[in-house]
């Protein structure tokens, strides 16, 4: 069972891996920069599920990832989520082409194993 980590640390790690500033996360989630900053730097875990949903939605990740992830799983999911975030921010046709190329690369890697 994954350990429960500091939610603020998870938010900061995901936000940084996606290249999102606190200001951008605040804007996208409808929360204040002050709130995001306080949440990331303190161990105050008194945050509602509604607020966590807003933050997760703004980063295009699941709420569960913010509250329960082992360090190893978090490191793996950071790169996957960064990829998903980038694909979602692209023009749909470009994203489709990029996704297709990535899938071909994955198949090629599997074939060499």
Q: Model confidence over 63-107: pLDDT tens digits?
A: 887 776 555 555 666 677 778 778 888 899 998 999 899 888 888
At residue 31, the pLDDT reads: 96
Q: Could you give the residue ranges of the DSSP H alpha helices within the chain?
A: 7-17, 22-29, 33-41, 49-59, 63-67, 71-89, 92-112
User: 10-30, pLDDT tens digit by residue?
Assistant: 889 889 888 899 999 999 999
Domain span at residue 13?
7-87
Q: 30, 33, 77: which is closest to 55 by C-alpha?
A: 30
At residue 55, the pLDDT reads: 95
Structural domain count of the chain: 1
Report if residue 104 sits inside a domain. Answer: no
Report if residue 96 sits inside a domain. Answer: no
Report if residue 112 sits inside a domain. Answer: no
Query: pTM of the entire structure?
Result: 0.64
User: 40-70, pLDDT tens digit by residue?
Assistant: 988 666 788 999 999 999 998 888 877 765 5
CB 75 within 8 A of CB 16: no
């Amino acid at each position: 069972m994954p350990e429960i980590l500091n939610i603020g640390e998870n938010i900061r790690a995901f936000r940084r891996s996606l290249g999102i500033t606190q200001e951008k996360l605040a804007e996208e989630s409808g929360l204040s920069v002050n709130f995001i900053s306080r949440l990331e730097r303190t161990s105050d875990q008194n945050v509602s599920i509604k607020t966590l949903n807003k933050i997760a939605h703004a980063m295009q990740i699941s709420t569960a990832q913010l509250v329960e992830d082992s360090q190893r799983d978090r490191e793996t999911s950071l790169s996957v989520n960064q990829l998903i975030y980038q694909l979602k921010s692209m023009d749909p046709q470009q994203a489709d082409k990029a996704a297709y190329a990535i899938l071909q690369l994955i198949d090629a890697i599997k074939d060499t194993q």
